[in-house]
Structure 1
Amino acid sequence: MPREVDYNLLRALQALLEERSVTRAAERLRVSQPAASAALAKLRRHFADDLLVRSGNGYERTPLAARLLERAARAVGSADHVFSLQPDFDAATSERAFTLMLSDYSIAVLGGPLSRLLAAQAPRVRLHLRQVTAEAVDSASEALGRIDAFLLPHGFLASLPYEDLLQDEWACLISADNQVVGDELTRDDLGALPWVSVFHRPTAFTTAIRELRMHGIEPDVQLVTESYSTLPALIAGTNRVTLIQRRLTAGLDLTENFRVLPCPVPLASLNLAMWWHPTHTADAGHQWLRALVGAAAERLG
């Protein structure tokens, strides 16, 4: 890259490409609109590309801009992590921002105590909870260069530092009007019923599904979702079955419309852990964050 490049333009590039508006990018960057326009002009000259082109009342990204978008966000995230590292950390006065990537299950279970502890200990710290995606799990090391940690069960990640948080058990969820299942769910039922699965990909899907296959049961996956909280809606009024965490069933309104049944084959418990990149291990702020999440898990018993 040419030496005369102004690396301050990197954040402007991200804002302009994400907002697709000079006005909104200026507001986000907290600069004047002429300053944002000047940044766009410099970027256009550097890349020899319009980046944003008029389309109706708005702007669309050029093909090059579409390719630059993710790379710019990744680079800004990595730079933020570099400059956020501190030898000391005072939670009571810090305005640092942290990002956790986790499932809606983790938010439902840990969100309450985590929110209360954050308010009590660090009223000015910002905590961004992002929904985990299969793509992020598949490229975990790269993703952890942009965020602070994953909250995921064992079985998805390896060769990364982690701290165990809590245990949970798997149960089977069916609709109360399921026409196939009798008083008990059987092994044959698991092979015959259509399934709803979560994160059903070769490298990212519910870890208990893998265990079913080890027991010789091949689930007939009919629906795939990336949200555990949607499972009841996808099960209701059908003969489908799914695996769901016991702790989550306590927080969902299952009433008389569903049946939560033991799985007819033994499944290992779900062990939720916090995973991070090794470069964060010695950072004082990250150490505090890990302690905060651990304390939230301890409050669950």
Structure 2
Amino acid sequence: MPFISQTYSVGMTADRVLANLDLNLLVTLDTLLRERNVTRTASRLGVSQPAVSGALARLRRHFGDPLLTRIGNHYELTPLAARVGELTGPALAGVRRVFDSTADFDPFRLDREFTLVISDYAATVLAPLVARRLTTLAPGVRLRLEQTTPYAVDHAAETLRSADGLVVPHGFVTGLPYLDLFTDRWVCVVAADHPDVGDTISLDQLAGLPWVVVFDRPTAFAPAARQLRMLGIEPHAEVVVDGFVQLPFLVAGTRRVALLQQRLADLLGPVAGVRTLTCPFDVVPVAEAFWWNPMYRTDPEHSWFRTVMTESARELATDGR
């Protein structure tokens, strides 16, 4: 949706401004501001690099601003571009909602991609249920799963400009609408043949054993690890990973210990060769939630997708945890 270069008079009305804009370049603008790179933008949009360069030139003329400035070997957003970037996602979503609207909403005829930013844990235990439900109810829908990162969670509002939902436990996101999904509990996992740990594990052992941890930063997604620190136990991180699925395989055959969600431990423990032990402290449960952008509050398609998420989570919760 490209902007046409134009000089606007002070008295020009909003309607006349819109009439002089080619909104097709809004997609290019949004992608450019997220990628901050012409080549990556062209690849993502499936167009030629000269086409994106030409679009950027028109955008710069329209805004009277370079938008992207070179700093060393990469580009940074100008202050104006940073402000515009906060608007492009909601604007695109609004345009799509206008042109995707139909008199009667029928999920079975829906042709849309829903993007979830989700941990590998939730992607393993919940996403298969969501995908199966979508296949049955809306075979034309595509589900895209993107791995959570500390940045994506710390900047949830920005993340949800380009994603339909963020699945992350309570305690990390505030100020956005959410739906509760399911709960789980943390357990300790050790090698099946661990030489120093029997049927139980103590706080002293947790303090003395080497650990596998996720991200190893305060805003990582394991509140139980924060609890340990509050008890005066600082886990000695021997291995740091960016997801939960790797944990049991990095514990197996070693003296290491890790905290893992019970459902994931039940799935992967027998394959990896690890044992599950009750935590020796009153550990907080995992309370997973689906966070979403308030711009979707009245979107019938997104409302339906939220129902799919909660119904899938209800199916998962029938195991009694």
User: Whose RCO is larger (CA < 8 A, sep 6+)?
Assistant: 1
Q: What is the count of residue pairs matched by the alignment?
A: 285
Quote how far apart the aligned CAs of 1:64 are.
Answer: 8.1
Identity of aligned residues (%): 38
Quick check: 243-252 or 256-265, which moved more? Answer: 256-265
* 8 Å contact from structure 2 (residues 212, 256) kept in 1: yes
The aligned amino acid for 1:66 is: Y
Q: 2:16 aligns to what?
A: none
TM-score between both structures, scaled by the size of structure 2 = 0.76
**What aligned pairs does 1:36-47 form with structure 2 within 5 A after superposition?**
37-44=50-57
The aligned amino acid for 2:50 is: S
* 8 Å contact from structure 1 (residues 99, 148) kept in 2: yes
Alpha-carbon RMSD: 3.3
Q: Kindly indicate whether residue 79 of structure 2 is the aligned counterpart of residue 66 of structure 1.
A: no
User: In 2, Cα distance between the equivalents of 1:217 and 1:22?
Assistant: 46
**What aligned pairs does 1:42-121 form with structure 2 within 5 A after superposition?**
42-44=55-57, 66-67=75-76, 77-85=89-97, 89-121=105-137
* 8 Å contact from structure 1 (residues 77, 146) kept in 2: yes
User: In 2, Cα distance between the equivalents of 1:183 and 1:115?
Assistant: 37
**What aligned pairs does 1:183-194 form with structure 2 within 5 A after superposition?**
183-194=199-210
The aligned amino acid for 1:282 is: T
Q: 1:294 aligns to what?
A: 310
**What aligned pairs does 1:141-152 form with structure 2 within 5 A after superposition?**
141-152=157-168
User: In 1, Cα distance between the equivalents of 2:27 and 2:96?
Assistant: 16
Q: Select the residue among 1, 13, 20 that pairs with 2:39.
A: 20
Quote how far apart the aligned CAs of 1:197 are.
Answer: 1.5
Q: 2:249 aligns to what?
A: 233
* 8 Å contact from structure 2 (residues 249, 272) kept in 1: no
Residue aligned with 2:107, SS: coil
Which structure 1 segments of 5+ residues have no match? 52-60
**What aligned pairs does 1:213-292 form with structure 2 within 5 A after superposition?**
213-255=229-271, 257-292=273-308
Quote how far apart the aligned CAs of 1:77 are.
Answer: 3.9
The aligned amino acid for 2:224 is: A
The aligned amino acid for 1:67 is: E
Q: 1:207 aligns to what?
A: 223
User: In 2, Cα distance between the equivalents of 1:129 and 1:17?
Assistant: 22
User: In 1, Cα distance between the equivalents of 2:204 and 2:215?
Assistant: 24
